[in-house]
Structure 1
Amino acid sequence: MRVVHSPRHALHDGGMELHRGELVPCFEMPARADFILQAVRQAGLEVSEPQAFGLESLWGVHDAGFVEFLRTAHAQWRAIGKQGFMLPSGFPARGMRRDHLPSGINGQMGYYAFDAGTPIVQGTWDAAFAAAQCALTAAAWVAEGERSAYALCRPPGHHAGHSTYGGYCFLNNAALAAQHLRERGCARVAVLDVDYHHGNGTQDIFWERADVLVVSLHGTPETEYPYFLGYADERGAGAGEGFTHNFPLPRGTTWAQYSAALDSALDAVARFGPDALVVSLGVDTYVGDPISAFALEREHFPLMGRRLAQLRLPTVFVQEGGYAVEDLGLNVAGVLEGFDAGR
C-alpha cells in the first residue's frame, strides 16, 4: 500500500481548546503524525509527498467563501493587532440570524465554526491544505489503478462540513477523496467512518446525494461529541434519502459489540455496490484513548483491516482521529497491515 504524507502538517501547532468545559492544551498535536509515520515506515510501506492541487479542487466539497475565510483568517487576526491562536467567542444559535456573514474576523469565526475546540494558528491553512492534497493524491492513485492507498492527513477532516469547521477539522479530506473518485469515473463511492466521533461534516456534505453513501460507527451523540448529529434515524434527504447510515454505540463498547455493528455497516456498503471505498480511519476507538470511551485493544485493529479488505474494493484510507499518541502509530499500522493481509 502506498502512503502519502506532507511534513507541512507540523505548521498547525499550538493553541488551547475548550474540552468539555475546560480550557486545555490541544489533544490534536504534531506528534500524532510523527508516530504514525514511524510505524508505517517500520511496516515497510512506501511514503511519498502529495501532488499539487489548486484551490478549485476544494470547491466540489466546500463553499468557496468558507475556503477563503480559512485561507485568510489568521492574517485578518493579525491585522487587528492580535497574536497567537484564534478561538470563536460567539455562535449563531437558535433565535439568532444565520443568513448574514459579519465583516469582522471575530464574527466570521463564530459564523463558520461550530465549537471552541479548534484553534487556528498562523500555519493552520498551509497544514490543512497540505492534508487535503494528501487525500486527493491518494484518491488519484486509486483512480489510476492502485488497489489501495493511505493518506496520512493532519489535521484531520471528517468534522468539517460544506461551510463549517470544528472538531480539529478544517477541510474534509475524506469527502475530497470521495469527490475526486467521482470526478475520475467512479459512479458510486462509499465513505465508511470508523472514528470514535461521528463524521458530521461528511454527512452534511453528502446529505442530499445518492452517488456517495455515508456510513458511520461512533459513540452515541447522547453523551459524545459532536452531540447534535449521528443518530440512527438520520438517513439523508431529497435524492440522498436512504444513503446515510449511522450506527451509534454506547460508552464502553467492546470488540464483540463493535464487530457486530461493523458487520452491519459493511453489509450496507456492499448493498450500495460502490466502485470505490473511502475509509475515515480514526483509531480513537482504542481503549487507551484519552478523549474517547470504547474498549478496542491493539489486536482488534488488524481484524478491522481484514474485515474491510473483504469488500474487495479499491480503497482510500484517510487518517482522522486517535489521541493515545504513543500507541497511535501501531494501531494505524495494524489496520493497514490487516487490510493488506486480507486482500
Structure 2
Amino acid sequence: MRKIWDAHQMEHAPVVELHNGAFVPHAEHPGRAESILAAIGGTEPARDHGEAPILRVHRRDYVDFVKRAHADWKAAGRPGDAAGYTWPVVRRRPLDLERIDARLGQYSYDAGTPIAEGTWAGAYWSAQTALTALDIVLAGERSAFAFCRPPGHHAGADYLGGYCYLNNAAIAAQAAIDAGAGRAVILDIDYHHGNGTQDIFYDRGDVLFISIHADPRTDYPFYWGHADEAGEGAGEGANHNIPLPRGTALAQFIAALDEAIDRVRIFAPELLILSFGADTFSSDPISFFRLETEDYPVIGRKIADAGLPTLVVMEGGYAVDDLGANVAAFLSGF
C-alpha cells in the first residue's frame, strides 16, 4: 500500500489543552507522527491541490479564521497558543466580532483544540495528504494510506474541535464526488464519533456515513453519535451510528463492523474512505476500548474483504509508544 505523508504536518505543535479540569500536555503532538513513521516504512510526499477542494467542504470565513487566528492572538498580546473560553449556547450566523476570543468561540466547540503558530500549515498539508492519496485510488490502485496529522473527523464545515481543524475524510469524499464517483462511503472506526463528518453530509444521499465509536452518553463528543441520528432530507437513511460501551473488545467490535459492512454493500459505493483511529487500543490514555495490537490485522482484513477501492485516512490514537505498531498492524492486515 502506498503511503502519503508531508513533513509540514509537524509544524502543528500545540503545547497544552484543558482536559478533565486541568491544563495538561497536548495529546495530539508531533511524537505521534514520529511513532507512526518509524513503523510504517517509506512514504511519498503530498501534492499541493490548493484551497479549492478545502472550500468545497469548509466555509471561506472559517478557513480565513483558522489561517489568521494565531497571528490575531499574538497581536492582541496573548501568550502561547490561541484558545477560546466562551461559546454560544445556540449556534448563530457568522457575526463580525472584533475580539479574537469571541471569534474562537464562534468557530470552535471545545477547549482542547488550540490554534498554534503552525496549525494552519499542518492542517492544510494534512488535507493535501488525503487528496494525494485519493488521487492514487482514483487512478486505479486498490488502496492508499493518507497519514494525516492533525486528524480531521471532528471538524465541521465552520468549526474546529477534538484536535481537528480541516475534515480530511470529508474533503476527500467531496473531491471524489467532484471527480465523478457517484457515491462514496465514509466508515469511521475511531474511538470517538466523527461528528464533523456526520454534520457535513447529514442532509446528503450521495455519501453514506457510518461510525463505530464509544457511546456518546459516556464519551466525547457527547452531543453527536447517538443511534437515532439517521440523516435528514435527501440524507435520510444515509447516516448510521453504532455506539458501543466502554470495555468493547474484538468480538463485539467485529460484530459492529459486520453490521457496517452490510450497510456499505447495500449502498454499493464506488469508493470507501476509512477514517481509521488507533485510539481503540486498550492502553490509549483518553479512550476505553480493549483492542490489542494483534487485533488490528483482523480488522484490516475484514474491511479489505469488502472489495472496494479504499482510501485510509489517519485519525486519532494517543498511546504513542504503541501507536506505530498498531497502525502498521492494521495496514499489514489490510
**TM-score normalised to the size of structure 2?**
0.98
Partner of 1:70: 66
Distance 1:49 1:36 in 2: 15
Q: Is the 8 A contact 2:94 2:106 kept in 1?
A: no
Partner of 1:254: 249
Q: Is the 8 A contact 1:101 1:111 kept in 2?
A: no
Distance 1:311 1:237 in 2: 27
Partner of 1:184: 179
Q: Is the 8 A contact 2:203 2:235 kept in 1?
A: yes
Distance 1:183 1:97, change over 3 A: closer
**Deviation of 1:99 (Å):** 5.3
Q: 1:141 aligns with which of 136, 144, 153?
A: 136
Matched, 1:12 2:12: yes
Partner of 1:154: 149
Aligned length: 334
Residue deviations 1:114-155, cap 9 Å, x none? 000001111100011010100011111111111100010110
Q: Is the 8 A contact 1:322 1:328 kept in 2?
A: yes
Q: Which residues in structure 2 correspond to 1:144-223 (within 5 Å)?
A: 144-223=139-218
Residue deviations 1:62-117, cap 9 Å, x none? 111100101111111122222321110100114x8555342321100000010000
Matched, 1:242 2:229: no
Distance 2:35 2:46 in 1: 19
Q: 1:49 aligns with which of 33, 45, 52?
A: 45
- Superposed CA RMSD in Å reads 1.1
Q: Which amino acid aligns with 1:303?
A: V
Q: Which amino acid aligns with 1:197?
A: H
Distance 1:59 1:32 in 2: 28
The SS at the match of 1:122 is coil
Distance 1:242 1:83 in 2: 46
Partner of 1:92: 88
Residue deviations 1:273-310, cap 9 Å, x none? 00000000101000010000000111110000000011
Residue deviations 1:286-340, cap 9 Å, x none? 001000000011111000000001111110000000000011111111111101x
User: Any gaps of 5 or more consecutive residues in structure 2?
Assistant: none
Distance 1:4 1:97, change over 3 A: closer
**TM-score normalised to the size of structure 1?**
0.95
Matched, 1:279 2:248: no
Distance 1:101 1:290 in 2: 39
Q: Is the 8 A contact 1:140 1:180 kept in 2?
A: no
After the TM superposition, list the runs of 4 or more consecutive aligned residues in structure 1 that deviate by more than 2 angstroms: 96-101
Distance 1:263 1:101 in 2: 47
Q: Give percent identity, aligned residues only.
A: 51
User: Any gaps of 5 or more consecutive residues in structure 1?
Assistant: none
